[in-house]
Amino acid sequence: MTGLFTRNRLIGLVLAALVAIVDQAVKMYVIGPLALREVLHIDLLPFFDLTYTENKGISLGMFQANDMETRWLLVLLTGAIALVVLVWMMRERKLGDIIGLSLILGGALGNIRDRYDLGYVIDYADLHIGTFRPFLIFNIADAAITIGVVIILARSLLVRDKDESQSGEPPRGETKDA
């Protein structure tokens, strides 16, 4: 398959959609049947609880959107970032890069939907070691974004693709017999 929608890019688009859908489904479950918005906290495991939080900011709670103008500015800003990630993903060819970008895109879409509909992002995952909390309370979208960024960084720092000249292939526009 050639062109814009290669197999790897289609896999990326499907993965991004799945991340966004699963994120929204879990958020609906924790505020619906689990009523986390009302009970605020559910003990689950010695290292993991559900704790309801409304995040009006972006990463690490920065840039709090406490008014309508800031809320819509954050929707536009995160939407623009998601669009850049989509364009980047559609330009990539390697599945590893596309997977990382699709996790970022899917997570961004899940959080953008919250901010658009509610004015804040619902966070609930509370990972801790006793009273020590190495992370802020997060959600599936946040986890997908973080994993996607780690994949992109790891691939850019650790994976070295062969140059065409090293692979035995002639440079573009030249033939082997030249």
| Burial call 125-158: b when 16+ CB within 10 Å, e when fewer | bbebeeeeeeeebbbbbbbbbbbbeebbeebeee
Please tell me the predicted confidence (pLDDT) of residue 165. Answer: 42
Please tell me the predicted confidence (pLDDT) of residue 5. Answer: 81
Q: How many CA atoms lie within 13 A of 138 on its CB side?
A: 18
Please tell me the predicted confidence (pLDDT) of residue 61. Answer: 61
Task: Identify the helix (H) or strand (E) that includes residue 43.
Answer: strand 41-45
Cα separation, 123 vs 106, in Å, equals: 16
- Any idea where the domains of the chain sit in the sequence? 7-158
Q: Which of 23, 123, 126, 177 is catalytic?
A: 123
Through-space distance between the first and last CA atoms of the chain, rounded to whole angstroms: 30
Q: Which of 126, 142, 163, 177 is catalytic?
A: 142
The tens place of each residue's pLDDT in the chain, 178 residues long, gives 557 789 999 999 999 999 999 999 999 999 999 999 999 999 999 999 999 999 987 765 666 777 888 889 989 999 999 999 999 999 999 999 999 999 999 999 999 999 999 999 999 999 998 888 888 899 999 999 999 999 999 999 987 765 444 444 445 554 444 4
* 43 in catalytic set: no
* 67 in catalytic set: no
Using CA atoms, how far residue 174 sits from 21, 161, 164, 168, 177, in Å, is: 46, 20, 12, 12, 9
Please tell me the predicted confidence (pLDDT) of residue 68. Answer: 85
